[in-house]
Structure 1
Amino acid sequence: MELHQCRYVLAVAETGGFTRAAERCFVAQSALSHQIAKLERELGVTLFARSSRRVELTQAGAAFLPWARECLAAAERAVSEAADAAGEVRGRLTVGVIPTVAAVDIPELLQRFRDRYPAVRVALTMGASQEMTERVAGGRLDAAFLGLPEVDEPVGVGARELARDDLVAVLSPGHRLGTADHLSLAQIADEVFVDFPAGSPGRSQSDLAFAAAGLARDVAFEVSTADLFTGLIRQGLAVGLLPASFIGPRGEGLLTVPVDDGPRRVEYLVWSDFNPSPALRAFLGEVDRLSPVS
């Protein structure tokens, strides 16, 4: 078994087809198919069920996949450790980011990191805090920027608190409550809301606050991106609660009002503290050098 065969198997599994996998790997489809067939003969199992329309992992393929990922990760780690011993940081860094990160200017951070460590390849992914914490703890992400309700803390990972922030009411232009100096949850509870998916930490911040106040609300729209969140508010379809530091520079065309008994959130950077790679250690050092967004 060779590393490029593992890469080809992963590419087919992730893209759902041999043609797209060959394009991703920059090889001819015939060469990719030949190498996977050769691997199947060596293993004595069929990794993919194939038809003219579909390609799916077999049971054997599904069992092989995590080990293929582990082999590739180990190979990348070997290269990065050898480079680190020679005084060069290189390898691959995977970083998760919540849609509303505000404590750190991510593009600025990455620019500084890139200037210092140009040989490191960075993969960014966006997701919910709970999911990304689990991926970091399981070694599937190196680090992640999270936002959690004030009563929660990251578990099973290294963590650094970055900032605490109040959530403010975000309203469309001309909204009847837009002229208020401040509001309470009771004053906005009867509005139609947009929020993040139920069960996510981004949603829990507001759900916990309304529950503590003994109030119910109508979340008519659930979204996964901040742009769609604010877009629905601009259209006058809903109101929402977002961190003040996040909405501040992005609030053009929107009204924001403080909420006296509103929720608070805490932003964290979390990382896998089990044998961190040279690239991760360098990234954590760069975060230490970067002042949080005020």
Structure 2
Amino acid sequence: MTDTRDLLYHVDGDLVPASEATVRVDDRGFRYGDAAFETCRAYGGTIFAWDAHVDRLETTCELLSIDHDLSAADLRRRIDETLAANDLADAYVRLSITRGVQPGKLTPRSAVDPTVVVSVKPLPRGGVEGERVWDEPAIVRTVDTRRIPDEAIPAAAKTHNYLNGILARAELRGTDADEALVCDLEGNVAEGAASNVWFVRDGTLYTPTIEGPVLPGITRGIVRELASGADVPVSEGSYAIEDVLAADEAFLTNRTWELRPIASIDDIAVGGGPVTGRLSRAYDERVEDSCYR
């Protein structure tokens, strides 16, 4: 695999070596986490579900009042240039837009000169003939960290301020866990530190509602759609940890993992199953049809 130091990143219109890719220390993205980002996957040189990523990025920027004045075509061009410069067809892609450099005051100015960064790294081929980026089903553990209420920071905003997830993952130190299961202030299951959570009981697929403090994941939306097409009933609501522990099968979703079965939660075996397998195959077929054929 390519050494990260050998990669080229796209920083404010220029392709620069990763080791030299920098932003100013008074950039608000660095100073305050005042920035929006999207994690995408390129399959065969195509950004999968690009329109959905653009829509969510715009939602985040609107929630943060970052009027960046950049078109979707311009952002896509920067991504395509970065992939081409690194000779990558299958890759992790991260696109960030910060509010840019402003005086060191908490109150942001309405005028924005954004900082735009595209970083990439190689990933395996996806689709029907692809391979997973994970080796085993996920070991999950619950944590004491709670999800920030939507009334405090909108869950729909995918920002650089990931301290909530970092604190959740920090609780996993010294364990064998791959992911932290985070609850809301009422004790209901919200999401993983960097993933959405799903479980199956009696053939019905359940996932926490995005009316709570849950990020509306792009992969989450696709799985929801695939389940409907496969005649798998889906229920969105508020669920206790005990509901997930009693499930017939469970899995996590995010852009990098795609669908990853949950092996266990707090040492209680859960595992994948027929619904997880069917939806995973359907997802691979969607990727194959959209990006490789």
- TM-score range (shorter-chain normalised) is under 0.3
Of structures 1 and 2, the larger Rg is shown by 1
Please give the TM-score of this superposition, normalised by the length of structure 2: 0.27
Higher relative strand content: 2
Q: Which has the higher helix share?
A: 1
Instruction: Give the number of the structure with larger relative contact order, counting CA–CA contacts within 8 Å between residues 6 or more apart.
Output: 1
Q: TM-score, normalised by structure 1?
A: 0.27
